[in-house]
Protein backbone atom coordinates (compact mmCIF):
# COMPACT_ATOMS: atom_id res chain seq x y z
CA UNK A 1 0.00 0.00 0.00
CA UNK A 2 1.31 3.44 -0.94
CA UNK A 3 1.97 5.88 1.88
CA UNK A 4 -0.12 9.02 2.32
CA UNK A 5 1.30 12.31 1.05
CA UNK A 6 0.06 15.54 2.64
CA UNK A 7 0.30 18.58 0.36
CA UNK A 8 -0.57 21.97 1.89
CA UNK A 9 -1.46 24.66 -0.66
CA UNK A 10 -1.09 28.29 0.41
CA UNK A 11 -0.91 31.79 -1.04
CA UNK A 12 0.41 35.05 0.29
CA UNK A 13 -2.75 36.88 -0.75
CA UNK A 14 -6.21 36.25 -2.11
CA UNK A 15 -7.16 36.52 -5.77
CA UNK A 16 -4.39 34.35 -7.20
CA UNK A 17 -6.61 31.34 -7.95
CA UNK A 18 -5.46 29.13 -5.08
CA UNK A 19 -8.75 27.43 -4.25
CA UNK A 20 -9.76 26.83 -7.87
CA UNK A 21 -6.33 25.41 -8.68
CA UNK A 22 -6.40 23.26 -5.52
CA UNK A 23 -9.81 21.80 -6.39
CA UNK A 24 -8.86 20.95 -9.96
CA UNK A 25 -5.49 19.52 -8.94
CA UNK A 26 -7.40 17.14 -6.65
CA UNK A 27 -9.69 16.18 -9.53
CA UNK A 28 -6.71 15.57 -11.81
CA UNK A 29 -4.94 13.39 -9.25
CA UNK A 30 -8.07 11.27 -8.77
CA UNK A 31 -8.64 10.93 -12.51
CA UNK A 32 -5.05 9.75 -12.86
CA UNK A 33 -5.89 6.86 -10.53
CA UNK A 34 -4.83 8.08 -7.09
CA UNK A 35 -7.22 8.25 -4.13
CA UNK A 36 -7.34 11.88 -3.04
CA UNK A 37 -9.09 13.91 -0.37
CA UNK A 38 -9.49 17.69 -0.57
CA UNK A 39 -9.56 19.29 2.90
CA UNK A 40 -10.92 22.83 3.19
CA UNK A 41 -8.73 24.54 5.81
CA UNK A 42 -9.61 28.09 4.84
CA UNK A 43 -11.28 28.39 8.22
CA UNK A 44 -13.55 31.39 8.42
CA UNK A 45 -13.91 31.59 4.65
CA UNK A 46 -14.40 28.04 3.38
CA UNK A 47 -15.62 27.81 -0.22
CA UNK A 48 -13.70 24.91 -1.76
CA UNK A 49 -17.03 23.13 -2.29
CA UNK A 50 -17.96 25.68 -4.98
CA UNK A 51 -14.99 24.64 -7.13
CA UNK A 52 -15.66 20.93 -6.64
CA UNK A 53 -19.36 21.06 -7.50
CA UNK A 54 -20.37 19.79 -4.04
CA UNK A 55 -23.42 21.27 -2.23
CA UNK A 56 -22.73 23.14 1.01
CA UNK A 57 -24.82 20.92 3.27
CA UNK A 58 -22.39 18.53 4.93
CA UNK A 59 -20.73 18.67 8.37
CA UNK A 60 -17.07 19.58 8.31
CA UNK A 61 -14.08 20.82 10.29
CA UNK A 62 -16.17 22.93 12.68
CA UNK A 63 -18.35 19.94 13.53
CA UNK A 64 -15.27 17.73 13.96
CA UNK A 65 -13.80 20.14 16.51
CA UNK A 66 -17.11 20.51 18.38
CA UNK A 67 -17.39 16.73 18.61
CA UNK A 68 -14.17 16.77 20.66
CA UNK A 69 -12.81 13.49 19.34
CA UNK A 70 -16.16 11.67 19.20
CA UNK A 71 -15.79 11.06 15.46
CA UNK A 72 -12.85 10.72 13.11
CA UNK A 73 -12.04 13.23 10.39
CA UNK A 74 -12.18 10.37 7.88
CA UNK A 75 -15.86 9.88 8.76
CA UNK A 76 -16.59 13.39 7.46
CA UNK A 77 -15.13 12.74 3.99
CA UNK A 78 -17.86 13.33 1.40
CA UNK A 79 -17.73 11.43 -1.91
CA UNK A 80 -17.73 13.60 -5.03
CA UNK A 81 -18.79 12.94 -8.59
CA UNK A 82 -15.17 12.06 -9.42
CA UNK A 83 -14.24 8.47 -8.64
CA UNK A 84 -11.47 8.34 -6.05
CA UNK A 85 -11.97 11.91 -4.83
CA UNK A 86 -13.55 12.82 -1.51
CA UNK A 87 -13.94 16.16 0.24
CA UNK A 88 -13.86 17.33 3.84
CA UNK A 89 -15.75 20.64 4.21
CA UNK A 90 -14.53 23.55 6.32
CA UNK A 91 -16.69 25.70 8.58
CA UNK A 92 -20.09 24.69 7.27
CA UNK A 93 -22.56 26.29 9.65
CA UNK A 94 -20.06 26.59 12.51
CA UNK A 95 -19.32 30.15 13.62
CA UNK A 96 -15.90 31.42 14.74
CA UNK A 97 -13.99 28.45 13.31
CA UNK A 98 -11.29 30.85 12.12
CA UNK A 99 -10.29 31.39 15.75
CA UNK A 100 -9.50 27.85 16.82
CA UNK A 101 -7.35 27.30 19.89
CA UNK A 102 -3.89 25.77 20.03
CA UNK A 103 -5.37 22.49 21.34
CA UNK A 104 -8.01 22.43 18.61
CA UNK A 105 -5.30 22.97 15.99
CA UNK A 106 -3.33 20.03 17.40
CA UNK A 107 -6.47 17.86 17.33
CA UNK A 108 -7.15 18.84 13.74
CA UNK A 109 -3.58 18.18 12.63
CA UNK A 110 -3.70 14.75 14.28
CA UNK A 111 -6.93 14.02 12.39
CA UNK A 112 -5.39 15.11 9.08
CA UNK A 113 -2.40 12.84 9.63
CA UNK A 114 -4.76 9.89 10.18
CA UNK A 115 -6.41 10.22 6.75
CA UNK A 116 -5.84 7.18 4.54
CA UNK A 117 -5.98 8.53 0.97
CA UNK A 118 -2.88 8.54 -1.24
CA UNK A 119 -2.96 12.33 -1.49
CA UNK A 120 -4.30 14.65 1.20
CA UNK A 121 -4.54 18.14 -0.29
CA UNK A 122 -5.00 21.03 2.16
CA UNK A 123 -6.54 24.26 0.88
CA UNK A 124 -5.22 26.83 3.38
CA UNK A 125 -6.51 30.32 3.99
CA UNK A 126 -4.74 33.09 2.09
CA UNK A 127 -2.29 35.20 4.04
CA UNK A 128 -0.18 34.56 7.12
CA UNK A 129 -2.53 33.60 9.93
CA UNK A 130 -1.07 31.18 12.48
CA UNK A 131 -3.49 28.54 11.22
CA UNK A 132 -2.14 28.72 7.67
CA UNK A 133 1.50 28.85 8.79
CA UNK A 134 1.12 25.86 11.11
CA UNK A 135 -0.79 23.76 8.59
CA UNK A 136 1.80 24.59 5.93
CA UNK A 137 4.46 23.15 8.22
CA UNK A 138 2.75 19.75 8.35
CA UNK A 139 4.82 18.51 5.40
CA UNK A 140 8.32 19.26 4.12
CA UNK A 141 6.97 20.10 0.66
CA UNK A 142 4.10 22.55 0.29
CA UNK A 143 2.81 24.57 -2.66
CA UNK A 144 2.73 28.36 -2.79
CA UNK A 145 0.44 29.79 -5.47
CA UNK A 146 1.25 33.21 -6.92
CA UNK A 147 0.67 35.23 -10.05
CA UNK A 148 3.35 37.36 -11.68
CA UNK A 149 1.93 40.61 -10.31
CA UNK A 150 4.41 42.33 -8.03
CA UNK A 151 2.10 42.40 -4.95
CA UNK A 152 1.43 38.67 -5.32
CA UNK A 153 5.15 37.85 -5.55
CA UNK A 154 5.90 40.09 -2.57
CA UNK A 155 3.16 38.47 -0.51
CA UNK A 156 4.36 34.98 -1.42
CA UNK A 157 7.82 35.88 -0.12
CA UNK A 158 6.23 37.43 2.98
CA UNK A 159 4.31 34.21 3.59
CA UNK A 160 7.54 32.20 3.47
CA UNK A 161 9.30 34.72 5.73
CA UNK A 162 6.53 34.47 8.32
CA UNK A 163 6.51 30.69 7.98
CA UNK A 164 10.25 30.55 8.70
CA UNK A 165 9.81 32.83 11.74
CA UNK A 166 6.87 30.78 13.00
CA UNK A 167 8.71 27.47 12.54
CA UNK A 168 11.84 28.77 14.28
CA UNK A 169 9.76 30.15 17.16
CA UNK A 170 8.05 26.80 17.58
CA UNK A 171 11.37 24.96 17.75
CA UNK A 172 12.71 27.18 20.56
CA UNK A 173 9.45 27.14 22.54
CA UNK A 174 10.89 24.73 25.17
CA UNK A 175 13.54 27.38 25.96
CA UNK A 176 11.65 30.36 27.48
CA UNK A 177 14.59 32.78 27.52
CA UNK A 178 15.43 32.05 23.88
CA UNK A 179 11.78 32.25 22.85
CA UNK A 180 11.33 35.61 24.57
CA UNK A 181 14.37 37.01 22.74
CA UNK A 182 13.19 35.60 19.39
CA UNK A 183 9.66 36.97 19.79
CA UNK A 184 10.99 40.36 20.85
CA UNK A 185 13.30 40.55 17.84
CA UNK A 186 10.58 39.51 15.39
CA UNK A 187 8.05 41.92 16.86
CA UNK A 188 10.28 44.95 17.38
CA UNK A 189 9.90 47.58 14.63
CA UNK A 190 13.13 48.28 12.76
CA UNK A 191 14.72 51.59 13.66
CA UNK A 192 15.20 54.22 10.97
CA UNK A 193 17.95 52.99 8.67
CA UNK A 194 17.96 49.51 10.24
CA UNK A 195 17.39 46.54 7.95
CA UNK A 196 14.44 44.28 8.86
CA UNK A 197 15.35 41.10 10.68
CA UNK A 198 16.19 38.18 8.41
CA UNK A 199 15.95 34.48 9.12
CA UNK A 200 19.74 34.40 9.28
CA UNK A 201 19.56 37.21 11.83
CA UNK A 202 17.12 35.13 13.84
CA UNK A 203 19.62 32.26 13.92
CA UNK A 204 22.15 34.74 15.31
CA UNK A 205 19.70 35.72 18.07
CA UNK A 206 19.29 32.04 19.02
CA UNK A 207 23.05 31.44 18.83
CA UNK A 208 23.65 34.14 21.45
CA UNK A 209 21.93 31.78 23.86
CA UNK A 210 22.94 28.41 22.48
CA UNK A 211 24.94 27.79 19.30
CA UNK A 212 24.02 24.11 19.21
CA UNK A 213 20.33 24.99 19.38
CA UNK A 214 20.77 27.55 16.59
CA UNK A 215 22.41 24.92 14.36
CA UNK A 216 19.60 22.48 15.16
CA UNK A 217 16.91 25.04 14.26
CA UNK A 218 18.69 25.90 11.01
CA UNK A 219 18.94 22.23 10.07
CA UNK A 220 15.28 21.60 10.89
CA UNK A 221 14.16 24.58 8.82
CA UNK A 222 16.25 23.37 5.88
CA UNK A 223 14.03 20.30 5.51
CA UNK A 224 11.25 22.52 4.16
CA UNK A 225 11.34 23.15 0.41
CA UNK A 226 8.46 25.36 -0.71
CA UNK A 227 7.23 24.59 -4.21
CA UNK A 228 6.19 27.69 -6.11
CA UNK A 229 3.46 27.47 -8.75
CA UNK A 230 2.84 30.48 -11.00
CA UNK A 231 -0.78 30.89 -12.00
CA UNK A 232 -2.38 32.98 -14.77
CA UNK A 233 0.87 33.42 -16.70
CA UNK A 234 0.87 35.15 -20.09
CA UNK A 235 4.28 34.13 -21.45
CA UNK A 236 7.28 31.96 -20.53
CA UNK A 237 9.33 35.17 -20.57
CA UNK A 238 7.73 36.10 -17.25
CA UNK A 239 9.89 33.39 -15.68
CA UNK A 240 12.90 35.67 -16.09
CA UNK A 241 12.28 36.63 -12.44
CA UNK A 242 13.28 33.17 -11.20
CA UNK A 243 16.97 33.87 -10.53
CA UNK A 244 16.15 36.95 -8.49
CA UNK A 245 13.34 35.22 -6.61
CA UNK A 246 15.53 32.19 -5.93
CA UNK A 247 18.25 34.40 -4.44
CA UNK A 248 15.72 36.25 -2.28
CA UNK A 249 14.31 33.06 -0.79
CA UNK A 250 17.67 31.33 -0.32
CA UNK A 251 19.62 34.25 1.07
CA UNK A 252 16.93 36.13 2.94
CA UNK A 253 14.84 33.24 4.23
CA UNK A 254 17.33 30.34 4.34
CA UNK A 255 14.85 28.19 2.41
CA UNK A 256 15.47 26.39 -0.87
CA UNK A 257 12.52 26.81 -3.24
CA UNK A 258 11.53 24.48 -6.03
CA UNK A 259 9.86 26.18 -9.01
CA UNK A 260 7.18 23.63 -9.66
CA UNK A 261 4.49 24.82 -12.04
CA UNK A 262 3.29 27.37 -14.60
CA UNK A 263 -0.40 27.66 -15.49
CA UNK A 264 -1.30 29.88 -18.44
CA UNK A 265 -4.01 32.50 -18.18
CA UNK A 266 -7.27 31.17 -19.57
CA UNK A 267 -10.46 33.26 -19.68
CA UNK A 268 -12.54 30.08 -19.49
CA UNK A 269 -11.51 29.85 -15.82
CA UNK A 270 -13.30 33.09 -14.96
CA UNK A 271 -16.32 32.11 -17.01
CA UNK A 272 -16.60 28.66 -15.43
CA UNK A 273 -16.28 30.15 -11.93
CA UNK A 274 -19.12 32.60 -12.61
CA UNK A 275 -21.30 29.74 -13.85
CA UNK A 276 -20.35 27.46 -10.92
CA UNK A 277 -18.96 24.89 -13.37
CA UNK A 278 -16.16 22.52 -12.41
CA UNK A 279 -13.32 23.58 -14.68
CA UNK A 280 -11.56 20.29 -15.34
CA UNK A 281 -14.81 18.35 -15.76
CA UNK A 282 -16.50 20.88 -18.04
CA UNK A 283 -13.47 22.09 -20.01
CA UNK A 284 -10.82 19.33 -19.85
CA UNK A 285 -9.16 20.53 -23.04
CA UNK A 286 -8.74 24.16 -21.96
CA UNK A 287 -5.29 25.65 -21.50
CA UNK A 288 -5.74 25.91 -17.72
CA UNK A 289 -7.00 22.32 -17.42
CA UNK A 290 -4.07 21.00 -19.45
CA UNK A 291 -1.68 22.91 -17.23
CA UNK A 292 -3.26 21.54 -14.07
CA UNK A 293 -3.19 17.98 -15.41
CA UNK A 294 0.51 18.47 -16.17
CA UNK A 295 0.99 19.73 -12.61
CA UNK A 296 -0.76 16.62 -11.26
CA UNK A 297 1.52 14.35 -13.30
CA UNK A 298 4.51 16.20 -11.87
CA UNK A 299 3.19 15.70 -8.33
CA UNK A 300 2.77 11.97 -8.98
CA UNK A 301 6.17 11.57 -10.61
CA UNK A 302 8.50 13.81 -8.65
CA UNK A 303 6.96 15.03 -5.41
CA UNK A 304 8.95 13.13 -2.79
CA UNK A 305 12.36 14.71 -3.25
CA UNK A 306 14.19 17.91 -4.15
CA UNK A 307 14.15 18.95 -7.79
CA UNK A 308 17.47 19.62 -9.48
CA UNK A 309 17.62 22.80 -11.61
CA UNK A 310 13.91 23.38 -11.06
CA UNK A 311 14.00 26.90 -12.52
CA UNK A 312 15.55 25.85 -15.82
CA UNK A 313 13.26 22.84 -16.03
CA UNK A 314 10.18 25.01 -15.49
CA UNK A 315 11.30 27.45 -18.18
CA UNK A 316 11.64 24.57 -20.65
CA UNK A 317 8.25 23.14 -19.72
CA UNK A 318 6.52 26.53 -19.99
CA UNK A 319 8.09 27.13 -23.42
CA UNK A 320 6.88 23.73 -24.62
CA UNK A 321 3.37 24.43 -23.30
CA UNK A 322 3.38 27.83 -25.02
CA UNK A 323 4.35 26.29 -28.37
CA UNK A 324 1.70 23.58 -28.02
CA UNK A 325 -0.99 26.15 -27.20
CA UNK A 326 0.06 28.31 -30.15
CA UNK A 327 -0.08 25.30 -32.50
CA UNK A 328 -3.49 24.34 -31.18
CA UNK A 329 -4.85 27.85 -31.67
CA UNK A 330 -3.47 27.81 -35.20
CA UNK A 331 -5.26 24.55 -35.99
CA UNK A 332 -8.53 25.84 -34.54
CA UNK A 333 -8.35 29.03 -36.61
CA UNK A 334 -7.53 27.09 -39.76
CA UNK A 335 -4.13 28.73 -40.16
CA UNK A 336 -1.64 26.78 -42.32
Q: Does any domain span residue 19?
A: yes
Please name the residues in contact with 287: beta carbons below 8 A apart, sequence gap of 6 or more.
264, 265, 266, 268, 325
Specify the pLDDT at position 182: 93
Collapsing DSSP to helix, strand or coil, 230 comes out as strand
Q: Which domain holds residue 93?
A: 5-139+266-305
Cα diameter, the chain: 72
Specify the pLDDT at position 59: 87
Q: Does any domain span residue 205?
A: no
- CB 264 within 8 Å of CB 148: no
Q: Does any domain span residue 188?
A: no
Name the stretches of the chain with pLDDT < 50: none
CA-to-CA separations, 275 to 231, 259, 268, 270, 290, in angstroms, rounded: 21, 32, 10, 9, 20
Residue environment code for 154-182, b if the CB has 16+ CB neighbours within 10 A, otherwise e: ebbbebbbbbbbbbbbebbeeeeebbebb
Q: Does any domain span residue 334?
A: no
- CB 279 within 8 Å of CB 268: yes
Specify the pLDDT at position 334: 61
CATH code, domain carrying 80: 3.40.50.300
pLDDT of 178-226, one tens digit each?
999 999 988 887 777 777 888 999 999 999 999 999 999 999 999 999 9
Q: Does any domain span residue 301?
A: yes
Q: Does any domain span residue 312?
A: no
Collapsing DSSP to helix, strand or coil, 152 comes out as helix
Q: Does any domain span residue 199?
A: no
Query: CB-hemisphere CA count at 13 Å for 263?
Result: 30
The distance of Cα 75 from the centroid of its chain, to the nearest Å, equals: 24
pLDDT of 47-59, one tens digit each?
899 999 999 888 8
**Cα gap 88→74, rounded to integer Å:** 8
Specify the pLDDT at position 67: 78
- CB 221 within 8 Å of CB 254: yes
Collapsing DSSP to helix, strand or coil, 70 comes out as coil
Specify the pLDDT at position 63: 86
Looking at the structure of the chain, the number of domains it has is 1
Q: Does any domain span residue 210?
A: no
Amino acid sequence: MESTTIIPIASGKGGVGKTLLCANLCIALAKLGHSTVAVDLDLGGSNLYTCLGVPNKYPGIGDFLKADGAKSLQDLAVPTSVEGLSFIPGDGSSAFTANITHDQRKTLMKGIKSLKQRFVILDLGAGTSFNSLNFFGMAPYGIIITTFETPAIMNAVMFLRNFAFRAASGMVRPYPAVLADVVERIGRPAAVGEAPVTVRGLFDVIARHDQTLAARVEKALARYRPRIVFNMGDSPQELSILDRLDATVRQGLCLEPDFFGFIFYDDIVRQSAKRREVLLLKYPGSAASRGIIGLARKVIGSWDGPLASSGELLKEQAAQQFEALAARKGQESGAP
